[in-house]
A and B are shown apart, each in its own frame.
Chain A
Amino acid sequence: SAVISQKPSRDICQRGTSLTIQCQVDSQVTMMFWYRQQPGQSLTLIATANQGSEATYESGFVIDKFPISRPNLTFSTLTVSNMSPEDSSIYLCSFGDTEAFFGQGTRLTVV
């Protein structure tokens, strides 16, 4: 099965700063997805990242806050911008249709 690597695994950031999370897949995939999982909660889709076009954001998430890049079919980044404590969460990338493969997650704490 494909391997998906996500980094950093965790970070503690100051409010007002930005963090970029990277996700690398060992094979080419058409769509990649970014999810947020708040402590003890379910996974919520932030956006779908398509190569060669702008990401598609779900309701409640905007590009200015969560800009996404998808420069090729194996790589994507999610930036959490102008962070506040409410952004403290686990962020996960994934790909796949009949089976979703998830990165290990990035545990973000904003202080």
Chain B
Amino acid sequence: QQPVQSPQAVILREGEDAVINCSSSKALYSVHWYRQKHGEAPVFLMILLKGGEQKGHEKISASFNEKKQQSSLYLTASQLSYSGTYFCGTEHLDGTSYGKLTFGQGTILTVHP
């Protein structure tokens, strides 16, 4: 089942904050976050494995709720380099999908000067 990402697009000025959400109808084994710039391959940002987990650093961080069905990516004090499409990738708990990711539809983030 494809996770649902929201919003579909975000436009920011430099220095503004954004939150991108990723939701699943079933509990997940893990959630990954990637950023893809136009014409390039996705680049790994972080993985969350534990319910209630929060990780990352001051500028880019993420959380995973206790039920392991919802994750949020927080982009703080955005920079021009943050522009791109953000994808969450999820792994499910069926025991057969280790390493196999189902991606959300993506969130296009545009940061203007």
Contact = CB atoms under 8 A, between A and B. Distances in A.
Contact of B41 (A44, A98, A99, A103): A103
Main secondary structure of the interface of B (DSSP, over half): loop
Contact of A43 (B42, B44, B99): B42
A50 to B, nearest CB: 11
Contacts, number: 51
Interface string B87-100: 10100000000111
Interface stretch (B13-21, B63-71, B72-80, B101-109): B101-109
Interface residues of A, number: 20
A31 B105 contact: no
Contact of B98 (A92, A97, A104, A105): A97
Chain B interface category by residue count: 20 to 34
B99 A92 contact: no
Given A42-B103, A43-B42, A105-B41, A100 B98 contact: no
A33 interface: yes
Contacts of A102: 41-42
A48 B44 contact: no
B41 A33 contact: no
Contacts of B105: 41-42
A100 B102 contact: no
Interface of B: 2, 30, 32, 34, 40-42, 44, 47, 87, 89, 98-106
